[in-house]
Amino acid sequence: MRLYHYACHHERALLLREGMIRPWSQRFLGWSDALCWFTDLAVPTRAALGLNEDECDRTAYRFTIDNETWIVPWREYRAEVHPAAIEAVEGVAGALPNRWWVSEHPVILHSGAVRTRQIEVAR
Ligand SMILES: [Zn+2]
């Protein structure tokens, strides 16, 4: 299995600068843990990742993850999450929560990001 992290151009710049993906607060969803999010979807859609339409295209760039040590399937992690918060992230029409992974720890990046539009072209 190969995992990916998708980012907008703002987040891409931050991740390249830091060389890692840091967990960020999920408080807006009503729980206190900080998480990084991943998926095994090699070609993403916003809906599949549970992303609402917003100004940034948060599927614009794809980072490939080489170290999955701290990463667990969302379907296991969600057992500890309040049902209302689960509904908030999984409730987007077309969301594919079985394809999501999370980490409570930073994940080191070993390579740069690929533009997802180029992935589509290369298929
Ligand atoms: Zn952005």
Q: Contact 48/95 with Cβ under 8 angstroms?
A: yes
pLDDT band at 16 (very low <50, low <70, confident <90, very high): very high
Of residues 111 and 75, which shows the higher confidence score? 75
Chain-centre distance for alpha carbon 3: 9
Of residues 99 and 55, which shows the higher confidence score? 99
**22-59 tens-digit pLDDT:** 998 877 667 778 999 999 999 988 899 988 777 789 99
Closest by CA position to 47, among listed 96, 88, 119: 96
For residue 8, report the distance from its CA to the centre of ligand 1, in Å.
5
- The number of folded domains in the chain is 1
For residue 62, report the distance from its CA to the centre of ligand 1, in Å.
14
pLDDT of residue 122: 61
Query: Which residues keep their CB under 5 angstroms from ion ligand 1?
Result: 8, 10, 56
Owning domain of residue 61: 3-122
What is the DSSP secondary-structure string of 12-27? HHHHHHHTEEPPEE-G
